[in-house]
Amino acid sequence: MFIIAVLLLLSTGLTVNSEIHSLRYIYTAFSKPPRLEGLHEFTAMGLLDNRMIDYFDSDHQTKVPKQDWMKERLPDDYWEKGTQSRKSKQQWFKVNIEILMKRMRQNDTNVHVLQWMHGCDGETQPDNTVKFKRGINMYAYDGNDFLSFDDTNSVWVAAVPAAEPTKRKWDEVQVLKEYTKGYLENECMDWLNKFKNYGEQQLKQASPPEVFVFAKQTKIKTNIMLTCLATGFYPKDITMNIKRNGRVLTVEDGLVSSGVRPNDDDTHQIRKSVEILRSDSSKYTCQVIHKATDVNVEKVWDRKIPDVQSDDPPVVVVAAGVFVVLLIVAGAVGVVVFLKRKSKNATSMILFSIPVTSTDYKGSD
């Protein structure tokens, strides 16, 4: 099982400047304490439009606000009830990991991961309210999709044979299906509207990108790696091009892209690179367009080539690979893992399994 620390957030790609808003709650539990710095046996968090708004982990045992407006607008009893709810979920996860390990005939030699994500997406209306668009309730175990709720048809969908017993059991509980659908379409949307209104001004703040163009040594002495890096921007929608004598380079030219990745301060970064001959005298430029902040720059590579391997500019760099999340927690960087396993058709998100009751949703937790 590969665990790579990276940031996420989450595959939806939603931004505040679009007409779609999202609210997500994500829970991650390990079968035993992971021996990796920054990882906790249990972690829970809420995210509004991909920005963390609250956080809880098994070491600190307190649900805390991660945005100033959450702290200012919500009363003390909201955080007290949320803390108790997440403590109970921590125990619930512990029990269900043991159930799944027995079902899968696994021992405790390896560390196993159980995750759950639930939430809703809404579309902004002319009166500035957000109308329900879709609900999400997904479970997974050890990096594989396990079970999800089909909100349209009010049925549970098993992703693997091992999930079939849970699907059959849950489909027979009509009140559970009704409550799950009701939460996603109504209560979740109520919280989404409330949180959006509370933090609207802060969430609308845009941040322009810093742009760097630099070269690095490669394993082939005659070649260098030319890289264009943009970081610190919000929202995430951005256009980046590397040009050679005015022509935009593509994958056919060997261009590789990291894609847009989150930094640990709610901003994003992207880098594109191409390997070229050290002797290439062409004019190379990096074009970055960030419409939200009216940035449209084209930086010319200064043709400086390091004699030895050097570090990149001093920015947050997200590891390539499976998928990850770095998050600011109580002034320090904490890590929450979202494992993704690549298949032939797509990359499936990890989330977990087993039954939930109405109390698991109360308090927008």
pLDDT of residue 206: 81
- What secondary structure letter does DSSP report for 188? H
pLDDT of residue 33: 86
pLDDT of residue 362: 46
Q: How far apart are CA 266 and CA 326, in angstroms?
A: 10
Please name the helix (run of DSSP H) or strand (run of DSSP E) that holds residue 272, with its range, or none.
strand 268-277
Spell 90-101 as b/e; 16+ CB within 10 A means b: bebbbebbeebb
- DSSP sequence for 131-177: EEEEEEEEEEETTEEEEEEETTTTEEEESSGGGHHHHHHHHT-HHHH
Averages of pLDDT over each 10 residues, the chain, 365 residues: 33 48 94 82 91 92 93 94 95 91 86 93 86 93 90 93 91 93 95 90 82 94 95 91 97 95 84 96 96 94 74 37 28 32 32 40 50
Tens digits of per-residue pLDDT, 215-246?
Answer: 999 999 999 999 999 999 988 889 999 999 99
Per the listing, tokens 């935009």 go with: 248
pLDDT of residue 39: 84
Per the listing, tokens 């998100």 go with: 349
Q: How far apart are CA 53 and CA 34, in angstroms?
A: 25
pLDDT of residue 144: 86
Q: How far apart are CA 102 and CA 240, in angstroms?
A: 49
pLDDT of residue 10: 38
Contact 195, 181 (CB under 8 A): no
pLDDT of residue 349: 32
pLDDT of residue 61: 95
Q: How far apart are CA 139 and CA 208, in angstroms?
A: 36
**Beta partners for 46?**
25, 54
pLDDT of residue 269: 95
pLDDT of residue 308: 52
Instruction: Work out the mean pLDDT of the chain and round it to a whole number.
Output: 80
Q: How far apart are CA 335 and CA 40, in angstroms?
A: 8
Tens digits of per-residue pLDDT, 340-358?
Answer: 333 333 323 333 334 444 4
Neighbours of 83 (CB within 10 A): 17
Distance of CA 250 to CAs 167, 222, 230, 257, 323, Å?
A: 45, 22, 18, 10, 24
pLDDT of residue 126: 85
Helix (H, G, I), strand (E, B) or coil at 79: helix
- What domains does the chain contain, in order, with CATH numbers? 20-205+324-364 (3.30.500.10), 210-300 (2.60.40.10)
